[in-house]
Amino acid sequence: MSFIEISPESDFPIQNLPYGVFSTKENLTPRIGTRLGDFVVDLSFLDEQKLFDQQYGFFADSSLNRFMSAGREVWTRIRQRLTDLLSEGGDTVWEEAMRLRALISVENVRMHLPVVIGDYTDFYASREHATNVGVMFRGRENALMPNWLHLPVGYHGRASSVTLSGTDVVRPRGQVKPKDTPPEFVASRQLDFELEMGFFLGRGNDLGSPISIGNAHEYIFGMVLLNDWSARDIQAWEYQPLGPFLAKNFATSISPWVVTMDALEPFRVPLPQQEPAPLSYLNSDSAMGVDINLEVTLQSAAMNAPQTISRSNMKYLYWSMEQMLAHHTVTGCNMRVGDLCGTGTISGPTEDGYGSMLELTWRGEHPLQLPDGETRTFLQDGDIVTMKGYCQGDGYRIGFGEVTGKILPAR
C-alpha cells in the first residue's frame, strides 16, 4: 500500500509506477515523473535530494531515452527504491515537506511525448483482425495470406507523426479509387481507428546482430496504448503491391504513461496455440502474451457522453512482442533505444470486441448505432475516440490511462 489512499479502480497504484514526461505552470521545463494515484511524483526532485542510491541526472531530461538506455539493472533498482519511498510505513528518510514538494496533482501538470522516437514499426499480429479483413476483401477461403501463420507481418511507419494523447487528428486527403470511375483526390471518407498496444525498446542491438527470441524480453522497456489512425479508402487504392503508405502516415496517437514490463510481469499469459509451429528463431517459451483489458469509446459532437463500442484484450494476439522483435531483427536490422513497435489492431473473437470501425461495421454494411439516433460506418468530423486499458490484479489494477483524439475537418 502507498502512503496516500488510492482507489482499487485507479490505473496507478503503487504496483504500477509508470514513467512519463511532464511540466507545470510553475516550472515549464519538461522532466520525468511517475504516476501514483491522482499525483505525479517529480523524480528530478527526488534525484536532486539524493533519495536514490546515486544521483542519476537523467530524470531532469525531457525524454525517457537516457533513463531507458541505463539498462534493466538500473530500471529494477529505481523501481524498487520508488516502492520503498512511496509505501505506507516504508523509507522515512524524506520529510513531510519534501513529500509535499515531490507530489503534484495531475490537474496541475501538462504531459509531453515521453520518448524521442527514432523509428516506428507497426505489426499485424491479431489473427482475428487479419481474418476479418481477409474475409471482407478475399473471401473466407483465402482470408489469411500464405505467410501469415509463419511470421509476424509488419511495415515501417512514420515516427514523425506519432503524437501524444489529446492531439487532434486532421482528416487526411489523398487519392481514392471509386468502383467505376477514375481515381480522384479527396478528403478520406473512410477514416478509422485501430485499437493497438505499443512497446518501447530500452536497449538496442548492433547492425548485423539479430536479437534472439530467448532474450528478446530483455530489450523491451514498457508499453503504451496506441491508436494507429487509418484512411481505409486511401489504403485500398495505394497498398498493392507494397503495403500501407499515406493511409497510415498522417497520425499515430499514444498514451503519455509508459508502463514497465516489470509492472506487467504478473499478467503475462501463454500465447494462443500456434499451428504450424513457428520456425526455430521464433519459437520460445519466453514468448508470452499479456492479459490487458481494452476498451474503445466514441463520442460524436452531438453526444453528451461517450459510448463504448468495443471491448477486447491483448491476450488474443497470435504473435508476441518477443516474436515481433526477433523477426524484425533476424536480418541484422539494428534497433535503437526509443524505437516504438505497434502490435497492429487487437480484435477479439466476438463482434463486440473488434478493434476497428472497418470490422465493427463490416466495411460499412452494418452501421454502428449511436444513442441519439446517429449512425456511423466510419469516423466523422467532430468524433472523439478514446481507448483505455488495464490489467486486473487482486484488489488493484495496472492501468495505462487513456489515449484520445478528436477528428478535425480536412485542410
- pLDDT, one tens digit per residue, over 17-73 is 999 999 999 999 999 999 999 999 999 999 999 999 999 999 999 999 999 999 999
Q: How far apart are CA 138 and CA 143, in angstroms?
A: 6
Nearest to 173 by CA among 158, 163, 183: 183
pLDDT in tens, 146-158: 999 999 999 999 9
- Please tell me whether residues 197 and 54 are part of one structural domain: no
The C-alpha cell at 32 is 520525468
Q: How far apart are CA 18 and CA 406, in angstroms?
A: 25
The C-alpha cell at 258 is 509508459
Domain endpoint, select from 90, 112, 134 = 112
- Of the candidate ranges 93-107, 190-204, 301-315, 362-376, the one whose mean pLDDT is the lowest: 93-107
The one catalytic residue in 129, 217, 327, 328 is 129
Could you confirm whether 156 is annotated as catalytic?
no
- N-terminal to C-terminal alpha carbon distance within the chain: 50
Strand extents, DSSP E, 59-215: 103-105, 109-112, 120-123, 154-156, 162-164, 169-170, 173-176, 184-187, 191-192, 195-201
pLDDT at 90 over 80: no
- Please tell me whether residues 97 and 164 are part of one structural domain: no
CATH number of the domain where residue 213 is located: 3.90.850.10
| Domain-located, residue 9 | no
| Domain-located, residue 6 | no
CATH number of the domain where residue 64 is located: 2.30.30.230
Domain endpoint, select from 80, 112, 144 = 112
Q: Are 288 and 264 in contact (CB under 8 A)?
A: no
- Please tell me whether residues 261 and 229 are part of one structural domain: yes
Confidence category of residue 91, pLDDT binned at 50, 70, 90: low
DSSP 171: P
Q: Please give the C-alpha separations between residue 177 and each of 5, 235, 243, 373, in angstroms, as whole numbers.
A: 56, 10, 16, 30
Please, what is the average pLDDT of the chain?
96
pLDDT in tens, 142-188: 899 999 999 999 999 999 999 999 999 999 999 999 989 999 999 99
What pLDDT shows up at residue 395? 94
Q: Which long-range contacts (CB under 8 A, 24 or more apart) does 42-46 make?
A: 42/101, 42/102, 42/103, 42/104, 43/19, 45/101, 45/102, 46/85, 46/102
Q: What's the pTM value of the predicted model, to 2 decimals?
A: 0.96
- Please tell me whether residues 215 and 301 are part of one structural domain: yes
What pLDDT shows up at residue 372? 85
pLDDT in tens, 276-327: 999 999 998 878 999 999 999 999 999 999 999 999 999 999 999 999 999 9
Nearest to 200 by CA among 337, 302, 46: 337
Domain endpoint, select from 88, 112, 136 = 112
The C-alpha cell at 369 is 448505432
- Please tell me whether residues 239 and 359 are part of one structural domain: yes
| Domain-located, residue 12 | no
Q: Are 205 and 334 in contact (CB under 8 A)?
A: yes
What DSSP string runs through 249-275? SS-EEE-S-BEEHHHHGGGEEPPPP-S
List the domain range (segments joined by +) for residue 69. Answer: 19-112
Q: How far apart are CA 12 and CA 35, in angstroms?
A: 6
| Domain-located, residue 333 | yes
- Please tell me whether residues 288 and 352 are part of one structural domain: yes
- Please tell me whether residues 88 and 142 are part of one structural domain: no
What pLDDT shows up at residue 62? 98
Q: How far apart are CA 108 and CA 366, in angstroms?
A: 43
Q: Is 11 left (phi over 0), alpha (psi -120 to 50) or beta?
A: alpha
pLDDT in tens, 381-410: 999 999 999 999 999 999 999 999 999 999
Total domains in the fold of the chain: 2
pLDDT at 3 over 90: no
pLDDT in tens, 329-363: 999 999 999 999 999 999 999 999 999 999 999 99
